[in-house]
Chains A and B, each alone.
Chain A
Amino acid sequence: MSNEKEKNNPQEPNEVEASLETTPSAEEKAPEEKPKKAVKAKKSEDSDEVAKAAPKKEVAAQTTEDKAAAPKEVAPKKEETPPPPEPGKYGELLQANGFSPTHLGKDAKGTEMVDIKSTELREVSEFLRDNSASKFDLLVYVAGVDWKDRLEVVYYLYSTQSFESLILKATAADEKLPSVTSVWPTADWHERETYDLFGITFEGHPNLKRILMPSDWLGFPLRKDYKVEDPRLVWNER
């Protein structure tokens, strides 16, 4: 082990420098479809300057400042609206069968995402489970998301026939959504968890009560406006 490291030594200083040089390029690769190009050039200039100016031992600290400064420039660039995503396989299937889904494109792993109306949720779920073209017979998880202005619930479906996945999203208007427990019984616990942490009421759920938190807990912890009272939990705000 120590031998190996000793032989590595010649590379190590280079590596630190390399980390400086490659940092922007690693970010460059990433958001190609996002309108960031003008910023990109500017950013790499910045970091070059830093590379020249900074003594080697304070590299880490310097890059930190540099990177902390960078996104502030990026922020106003986001106003350009990206083109609406193309409808995917299952989005079209839903549309062809009289539902009105909103296509959201694909997530980073290539899974199709579809936004559906909360009133249609149960019908869509039943349709997707029973239709021979989709056969989503396994509900993998139910996840709540607090977008500050609205609460959203994400359903991740998996088909044991075609081995494909689909992400359904539904906005919980008035913090209420129909329960899909009758479609997938596994939704029972998952919906209880979402209720517990986000306060979304699932109508038609047989046993909607807290599951992870104590039954006398106040508030819904994963909401963004949830105030943490315990001072030991807010240390990172400094």
Chain B
Amino acid sequence: MATTATNIPQQGVFLEKDIDTNDMVVNIGPQHPSTHGVLRLITTLDGEIVKNIEPVIGYLHRSKEKMAESRSLYQYQPTIDRVEYLSSFFDHYAFVSTVEAIAELEVPKRVQYIRMITMELNRITSHLLWFGTFLLDLGASSPMFYAFREREKILKLFEDLTGARMMYNYYRFGGVIADMPEGWLDKVRKVVDEFPDRLDEYEAIVTKNPIFLDRTIGIGIMSAEMALANGVTGPSLRASGIKLDLRKTNPYCSYDEVDFDVPVGNTGDCYDRYRVRFQEMRESLKIIRQAIDKIPGGDTAELNKRRAAGDETANEMDLQIYGKKINLITYKPPKGEGSTIVESPRGFLGCYIITDGSPKAYRIKWRGASFSNLSVLAPLMKGLLFPDLMAIFGSIDVILPEVDR
């Protein structure tokens, strides 16, 4: 006991004398409100100190990789939404862009911008949901209602665009299903303009609240080495001080044409992970604002006006939008393989596809960011206090469907 006590940051004085106690095994989950899904944690406790923790996963395994073997690519596409349902635009982007690379399909700039706007909006919704549930884990219930209120506005935008609030099924090989509805960009601009005020509001409630600070500062410090060795990516890695963002380092889509910063933390504790995600929402807003201004062709209403006036260039741009250029029912990409990694709200989302010239893919591998992020929990929790478990687990932002796939 004395040996483990030295590892605890900011703790009081422990008994120096070693009292002989038995370890206690506490089972958390699979049905537990703060595991954000169906996760079982077998924790071995020495008093209040976690000696060992073993995550048991697989309760949500829906065999997404096996499903790809019996479905054509187009048939498989709606099921991708369910890999990670909080930010499924990213799953779709990883899938679609890999197939596009294998088939060498050209993606029009307007499509790329639409994808960029939707992905960044999706990042905000994902971080908002994390914000609400993380604070719920810490015992604060009102931030969740505020976060869901803002999220609802963005989900309404998605509903106008794609017809669904969470399972979008919107991207197609070489395009998107349909152009934006008229006036959609104005709605996005309205939401984006009023959003910074809301973020300030959240910060007023949470960021300097003494209870919140006590529960997050110095808790669950993840060093950069530990994070990298355990494959942690995304905001959790950046909070540990490594400036790694695929949007900046390996730009895809049109991210090299917009200007944004990559927020980085110093210590890698829960508070840093909170700050990094909060800053990321503001950066996403920045990207969306620039993308709205830069999108080729502008709002659909303007395009329609140009088309009505007989402007041929407007027609070209619009026809490129539709993924209907290729026959989706039996679309056969050529033989080949490709691997994409995308910066999803939780880190590297990877999709590895091998095609064999048939409508079905030979092999599809999903690399969920949460899968690796969750694996750091065991080494990270070793020697820390049991009550901090849920704060740390919440701050890593794991979503279980992505872990189990």
Whether A and B touch directly in their complex, counting CB atoms under 8 A apart, is answered as yes
Query: In the complex, which residues of chain A have a beta carbon less than 8 angstroms from the beta carbon of B357?
Result: 71, 74
Q: With the chains together, A108 CA to B100 CA distance in Å? A: 9
Within 8 Å by CB of A15, from B231, B322, B362, lies: B322
A-B contacts counted at CB < 8 A amount to 170
Per-residue interface assignment for chain A, residues 12 to 46, with 1 indicating a CB less than 8 Å from any chain B CB and 0 otherwise: 00010011001100110111101010000000000
B319 and A18 contact, CB distance less than 8 A: yes
| Distance to closest chain A CB from B79 (angstroms) | 12
Query: In the complex, which residues of chain A have a beta carbon less than 8 angstroms from the beta carbon of B300?
Result: 4
A19 and B339 contact, CB distance less than 8 A: no
A15 and B352 contact, CB distance less than 8 A: no
Q: With the chains together, A27 CA to B105 CA distance in Å? A: 9
Any A CB within 8 A of the CB of B244: yes
Residue of chain A at shortest CB distance from B68 = A222
Any A CB within 8 A of the CB of B159: no
Within 8 Å by CB of B57, from A160, A212, A224, lies: A212
Q: With the chains together, A213 CA to B329 CA distance in Å? A: 32
Any B CB within 8 A of the CB of A68: yes
Q: With the chains together, A217 CA to B405 CA distance in Å? A: 17
Within 8 Å by CB of B304, from A3, A107, A188, A224, lies: A3
Range of interface residues on chain A?
35 or more
Range of interface residues on chain B?
35 or more
Question: Given that A68-B330, A156-B350 are known contacts, is A30 also in contact with B65, CB under 8 Å in the complex?
Answer: no
A108 and B102 contact, CB distance less than 8 A: yes
Question: Which one of B325, B327, B335 has the greatest number of beta carbons of chain A within 10 Å?
Answer: B327
Residues 154-193 of B contacting A (Cβ, < 8 Å): 174, 179, 181-182
| Distance to closest chain B CB from A75 (angstroms) | 8
| Distance to closest chain A CB from B66 (angstroms) | 6
Residues of chain A whose beta carbon lies under 8 Å from any beta carbon of chain B: 1, 3-4, 7-8, 11, 15, 18-19, 22-23, 26-27, 29-32, 34, 36, 60, 63-64, 67-68, 71, 74, 107-109, 111, 137-141, 143, 145-146, 154, 156, 158, 160, 163, 165, 167, 184-186, 188-190, 193, 197, 210-214, 221-222, 224, 233-234, 236-237
In the assembled complex, 5 residue pairs joining A and B whose CB atoms fall closer than 8 Å, in A order, are: A23-B325, A26-B325, A165-B341, A186-B229, A188-B375
